[in-house]
């Protein structure tokens, strides 16, 4: 049986310490003409495994999610890029759909055609696929013409901005976001620290109601409005941790505000400071 020719797409993967997941990710991207892995100095065998899978590997310091993904897009050799995280895989249905797109000429350099495509993302969490709540269908814009698109957003929540029409695909991107509950909690801690710092830099101020109302709204949206309850105890846990994420983000912003206030007070108490 003749193997289908690879498509003129660069698969762009950013990674750090992903040697237990990079093989499956890259194998699912074998239909792409190029597979590029930008590695942030992994301490495990991520780079070696990626090279063994015939991926092009660039080792680079970690500048943040947005900057690293944008670097990968600009370093790619094809004009159409497919950005996939190391904890994700392309489903058979999505791969077939992208092949059909290419066969139809949809990936040609034509401003009348879509500049980007979104796809639903299904996450596997604590032993089961999540099909409701805020995690599904969780559409992601990952396949785009880099001449008309770029990564933007506020770390760690990046997004792609495109100049042109965006179309929707039906095939799923498969996601294994956390190896265990401890990793989920650690990620919340890291991400809320980044978010609070970003908000502070932009002049945002936390208010007391942010600690009460925002977490409650997050929980209701995920568990009730988006029917997270249909995912059983996992849906309840996901909604609860979404509320916790919101509360911690603003709690840390309060902490930064207090540190700023204390620094001003100490400065005003120094000899020679203005009364």
3-state class (DSSP) for residue 206: coil
Instruction: Report pLDDT digits (tens) over 81-126.
Output: 999 999 999 999 999 999 999 999 988 877 789 999 999 999 999 9
Write out the DSSP string of 211-239: HHHHHHHHHHIIIIIT-GGGGHHHHHHHH
Q: Which of 217, 222, 207 shows the shortest CA–CA distance to 254?
A: 207
- Produce one character per residue of 187-218: b if its CB has 16 or more CB atoms within 10 Å, e if not: ebeebbbbbbebbbeeeeebeeebbeebbeeb
Q: What is the mean pLDDT of the chain?
A: 94
Instruction: Report pLDDT digits (tens) over 196-249.
Output: 999 999 999 999 999 999 999 999 999 999 999 999 999 999 999 999 999 999
Give residues with Cβ within 8 angstroms of 55, minimum separation 6: 13, 26, 35, 36, 37
Scan for tokens 């911690």, then name that residue. Answer: 248
| pLDDT value at residue 269 | 64
User: For residues 31 and 12, what is the distance between their CA atoms, to the nearest angstrom?
Assistant: 13
Inform me whether the pLDDT recorded for 273 exceeds 60.
no
User: For residues 91 and 79, what is the distance between their CA atoms, to the nearest angstrom?
Assistant: 23
Inform me whether the pLDDT recorded for 60 exceeds 80.
yes
Cα–Cα separations (whole angstroms), residue 90 to 69, 126, 165, 175: 18, 20, 23, 9
Domains, the chain, ranges and CATH? 7-175 (3.90.550.10), 181-268 (no CATH)
Inform me whether the pLDDT recorded for 2 exceeds 70.
no
């Amino acid at each position: 049986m003749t193997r289908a020719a690879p498509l003129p797409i660069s698969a762009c993967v950013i990674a750090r310490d992903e040697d237990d997941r990079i093989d499956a990710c890259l194998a699912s991207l074998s239909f792409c003409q190029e597979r590029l892995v930008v590695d942030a100095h992994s301490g495990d065998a991520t780079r070696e495994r990626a090279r063994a899978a015939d991926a092009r590997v660039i080792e680079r310091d970690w500048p943040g999610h947005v900057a690293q993904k944008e670097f990968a897009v600009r370093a790619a050799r094809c004009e159409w890029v497919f950005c996939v995280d190391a904890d994700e895989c392309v489903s058979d249905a999505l791969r077939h759909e992208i092949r059909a797109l290419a066969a139809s000429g949809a990936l040609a350099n034509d401003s009348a055609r879509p500049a980007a495509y979104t796809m639903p993302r299904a996450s596997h969490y604590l032993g089961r696929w999540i099909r409701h709540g805020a995690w599904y269908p969780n559409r992601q814009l990952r396949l785009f013409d880099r001449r008309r698109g770029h990564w933007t957003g506020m770390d760690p929540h990046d997004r792609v901005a495109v100049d042109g029409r965006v179309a929707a695909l039906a095939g799923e991107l498969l996601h294994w976001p956390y190896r265990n509950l401890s990793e989920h909690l650690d990620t919340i801690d890291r991400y809320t620290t980044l978010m609070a710092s970003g908000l502070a830099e932009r002049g945002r101020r936390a208010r007391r109601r942010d600690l009460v109302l925002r977490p409650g709204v997050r929980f209701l949206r995920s568990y009730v409005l988006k029917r997270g309850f249909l995912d059983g105890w996992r849906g309840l846990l996901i909604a609860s941790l979404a509320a916790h994420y919101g509360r911690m983000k603003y709690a840390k912003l309060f902490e930064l505000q207090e540190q700023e206030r204390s620094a001003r007070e100490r400065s005003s108490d120094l000899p020679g400071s203005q009364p």
